[in-house]
Amino acid sequence: MECPFVPGEQALFAIPTDGRVTHRRRCRGFTLIEILVVLAVLALLTSIVAPTYLGRMDAAKELALKQNLKTIRDSIDHFAADRGRDPSDLQELVTAHYLREVPLDPVTDSTATWVPVMQDGRMHDLHSGATGQASDGISYAQL
């Protein structure tokens, strides 16, 4: 591929033995090898960073789940202390203003997957409905 002539650009002159003057210009750009090396370095860096990033995302979801469970359990305890009975479901905690809204289970991304632990027909405790295990090996359902 020949480079286009740019006015004011310095050209290299070559004078062959037959006496004619020819112009050769150096193209400024990247070779295929240079581009492949850059892509290989980027792929290497991505392969190093991606697992760490994904691991941090899982740890953040697990931490949010534990915090949501603690908040809901505290609300159940406050409700029981104030009213002398456990709430019938999560919506009763919201209606009685012990919670602003039913919290999201960050592992399942749903508010409908909470599993209530019933005692005498009332919600005494709550667990996550998520499948799998936390980073410490405990099942999400046992947190």
Place of tokens 């370095």: 41
Residue holding tokens 């050769």? 24
pLDDT at res. 126: 93
pLDDT category at 15 given cuts 50, 70, 90 is: low
pLDDT at position 23:
55
Question: Helix or strand or coil: residue 47?
Answer: helix
What's the gap between Cα 7 and its chain centre?
Answer: 51
Model confidence at 21: pLDDT above 70: no
In this structure, what token pair is assigned to residue 82?
Answer: 């104030």
Query: Would the pTM count as exceeding 0.85?
Result: no
The model's pLDDT over 24-52, given as tens digits with 9 standing for 90+, comes to 555 678 899 999 999 999 999 999 988 88
* Tens digits of residue pLDDT in 88-118: 999 999 999 999 999 999 999 999 999 999 9
Query: How confident is the model over 65-94, as pLDDT tens digits?
Result: 999 999 999 999 999 999 999 999 999 999
Q: Is the pLDDT of residue 2 over 80?
A: no
Burial label for 42, CB within 10 Å (0-12, 13-18, 19+), is: exposed
Cα Rg for the chain, rounded, in angstroms?
A: 33
112-126 mean pLDDT: 93
